[in-house]
Structure 1
């Protein structure tokens, strides 16, 4: 159960109509109806009866609203705690790939949290794109631009890409590390395909696996700059800068765009990528 959903139940009860709840909560009327339908489906009970153009709460709804009243009191108490904290207060869930979280954000996270004692960050990571929905993440860093969605999207920056290969090839043709077919449109994969590599026997979207293979001096592959630590100084490897960079996109839940905690966190994330772009 999400607090925003519970607020919709209370608003429909208080206003008597979806339109009234929509005006009160400043969200679209169809959104009110859609989310209320989902809540009823998840609970398995009917919350409102339609009577003379009004929405009348059922006994199940009244039972839910008893709990909502208690929760509202707790929310008010939490808001009072916020007032005692210096700076913005909040808990932000950031979805990203493992490499972005570990190599770009984590090294600077401690100082950021120290400077903002009211903030808590939760990192949601995977080798691919973490699923981004209002119920699972607040911000998401994507390496591919989504075609559409109920969120705000902006370009976060771009990342330099490097092709690594062993200098000494006397041991034979190195193993080529490539990306899965569903990533054919990314610059890394297009570069690798253009090279017409013959010994393609490692397929992965996990850059840590690619980096480990490259470090063995028996494989070739493409890595984003933030995953290249230690490789440039390795004289047994040759690094070639790709002509194209990888665009990085920031997704933000629409209801958080003006939230102070979210704005501070967005500025911090942007700064991390801007530093990488300038390096």
Structure 2
């Protein structure tokens, strides 16, 4: 089995298309398809299903990729021996919301990577929860506890929440920023719903949009503590601490639990949240 061929399997998994894998590996798209077909023929199994234009790994492919990940870690370790470096080696994909990545992880990422020269972090972000599966991320930070899944889950901590409103409304009803219906279960949405707001004309799950609206002094909304430091210092705003906090959860792929690179990254993620709670 050719190592370059195995890298093609991983690239198709990560990118979801032959074209994406082609761009990532800098080889022709037809070459990707031809070599993947040869691998499937040699193994005697189907590796991907086409679903809505995206290549999804089959169960047989999942088994192959578990070994590919281990081989990639060993290959990186060999490079480290050549370079005379020490410490954990690996590339970890972390899925989180934009706000968590930008405001909790990014401020501490440079020092972490400096202290661990063998590690590479890939941040997978979105306004809502990034989908976590064996094939899209290695670790995920979730603001809601998953009901089930083939992964290890542990609580990272809880986040305080603040409701902001203009200190002086000037006789006008501020615009209410609320969350989409699919987020009805989160404490922020429950708090806003209990207030029976009437001027609800901004619906979003994007923290930056809510923060910008509140900063205009013409809107109300709820923000997590790590996203609202400037607002707490703004005397033109009134901040109310919500009685209920938002739990934060860490998801880790089971096959990575004992991996040194993963364990170092988990410790760093926990430290980021602990530092935020002390601020």
SS in 2 for 1:82: helix
Whole-angstrom distance in 2 between the partners of 1:219 and 1:98? 22
Per-residue deviation, 1:139: 0.4
TM value normalised by structure 2:
0.74
Whole-angstrom distance in 1 between the partners of 2:204 and 2:235? 25
Whole-angstrom distance in 2 between the partners of 1:120 and 1:262? 11
Whole-angstrom distance in 2 between the partners of 1:254 and 1:73? 17
Cα gap change, 1:161/1:40 in structure 2, threshold over 3 Å: closer, same or farther? closer
TM value normalised by structure 1:
0.74
Q: What corresponds to 2:47 in structure 1? A: 39
Question: Structure 1, unaligned stretches of length 5 or more?
Answer: 7-34, 44-71
For residues 115-160 of structure 1, give each alpha carbon's deviation from its aligned partner in whole angstroms, at most 9, with x where no partner exists. Answer: 1111110000000011111111100000011111111111111000
| Residue pair 2:129, 2:142 contacting (<8 A) in 1 also | yes
SS in 2 for 1:231: helix
For residues 179-219 of structure 1, give each alpha carbon's deviation from its aligned partner in whole angstroms, at most 9, with x where no partner exists. Answer: 01111110001010111111111110001000000000000
Whole-angstrom distance in 2 between the partners of 1:226 and 1:149? 28
Per-residue deviation, 1:278: 3.0
Q: What corresponds to 1:80 in structure 2? A: 78
Cα gap change, 1:259/1:129 in structure 2, threshold over 3 Å: closer, same or farther? same
Q: What corresponds to 2:218 in structure 1? A: 218
Superposition RMSD in Å = 2.7
Cα gap change, 1:175/1:36 in structure 2, threshold over 3 Å: closer, same or farther? farther
- Structure with the greater alpha carbon radius of gyration: 1
Alignment of 1:1-279 (within 5 A): 38-39=46-47, 77-83=75-81, 84-279=84-279
Question: Structure 2, unaligned stretches of length 5 or more?
Answer: 11-42, 56-69
Per-residue deviation, 1:97: 0.2
| Residue pair 1:159, 1:276 contacting (<8 A) in 2 also | no
Whole-angstrom distance in 2 between the partners of 1:276 and 1:102? 13
Whole-angstrom distance in 1 between the partners of 2:72 and 2:242? 54
